Structure 1
């Protein structure tokens, strides 16, 4: 897909949003199901199922990345996509964009072994490498825009409301019970 095509598509989408601001509110969906062992299948739109598993040393069969690795992939690929999008609109040619992401997790939180140790990442570090013949000032402006507008980065950096429910054998748990877990 050419940079010009991406630019025209994004500018058309922005023009449509200016005419119809209500169209800016979208909902993305995914469904998942535990398969066998620790292996799960994730379904998004009409794509083939995504295989998600744990490594053998965490009880899995290592048939795919684990959920916390998927978070890192989501951040890296979102950075790359937002670079492509804004570079296209700004007329900046990109030779390549690559993102290396590391997440630091203390397994004691996952296993509930130590009070006060969070189950999720304690720190995530990403290093984005951009190769382009554009002027450094243009690329720095692009990088600043991407850092402000990358949805996954924003989701990880800013608190977001997350709600849920649990249904057991066809009956939904009381809201208080699921909130206190």
Structure 2
């Protein structure tokens, strides 16, 4: 897709939402995860999208697919990269280089409930962005990254508390 196409699309969506703010809030399509075998799990969306996870052999999984934590970091990196590309296109800029790497520090004692003071989620997240565009000032590129990370839905979900509920049905 060209920068102009993305820019026009983003501008069209922004104009529409400015005129129709009630349409800005929506409920996401559900994703259902079903445990298939051991610790291998298949998540499926309503349009047939599928992701399979597994845990490492060291903790009883088959090690045949990425773990949920890996997918979480992949979601963070790809969402940030997408948002950066969207922001650059909004400004009419074409990026020559865009690479986003996400990693985390984790304490497995939280996963296994071994210590009530250790959280199950990552202790910290790190996002590294490599970005370049010919003729674009360094500060402009830094501003694009800052804006994009502040408006990346996955980054926000990882870094901010999101109100949530859990509903349990006993089968």
Task: State TM-score, norm by structure 1.
Answer: 0.88
Asked if the contact 2:81–2:98 (Cα under 8 Å) also holds between the matched residues in 1, the reply is: yes
What are the within-5 Å matches in structure 2 for residues 83-162 of structure 1?
A: 83-133=84-134, 134-162=136-164
Rounded to whole Å, the distance in 2 between the matches of 1:18 and 1:45 is 29
Rounded to whole Å, the distance in 1 between the matches of 2:142 and 2:117 is 39
Rounded to whole Å, the distance in 2 between the matches of 1:164 and 1:7 is 38
Displacement of 1:85 = 0.5
Equivalent residue, structure 1, for 2:28 = 28
> Do structure 1's residue 50 and structure 2's residue 51 form an aligned pair?
yes
Q: 1:48 to 1:17 in 2, by over 3 A?
A: closer
Q: What SS class does the counterpart of residue 126 from structure 2 fall into? A: strand
Give unmatched runs, 5+ long, in structure 2. Answer: none
Displacement of 1:149 = 0.9
Equivalent residue, structure 2, for 1:179 = none
Rounded to whole Å, the distance in 2 between the matches of 1:132 and 1:123 is 30
How large is the RMSD of aligned CA atoms in angstroms?
1.3
Rounded to whole Å, the distance in 1 between the matches of 2:10 and 2:48 is 23
Rounded to whole Å, the distance in 2 between the matches of 1:14 and 1:102 is 32
Displacement of 1:99 = 1.3
Q: What SS class does the counterpart of residue 167 from structure 1 fall into? A: coil
Displacement of 1:47 = 4.2
Higher relative contact order, structure no. (Cα contacts within 8 Å, ≥ 6 residues apart): 2
Rounded to whole Å, the distance in 1 between the matches of 2:33 and 2:2 is 34
Q: What SS class does the counterpart of residue 37 from structure 2 fall into? A: coil
Rounded to whole Å, the distance in 2 between the matches of 1:125 and 1:132 is 23
> Do structure 1's residue 68 and structure 2's residue 69 form an aligned pair?
yes
Give unmatched runs, 5+ long, in structure 1. Answer: 170-181
Number of corresponding residues: 169
Equivalent residue, structure 2, for 1:12 = 12
Displacement of 1:48 = 3.8
Asked if the contact 1:38–1:54 (Cα under 8 Å) also holds between the matched residues in 2, the reply is: yes
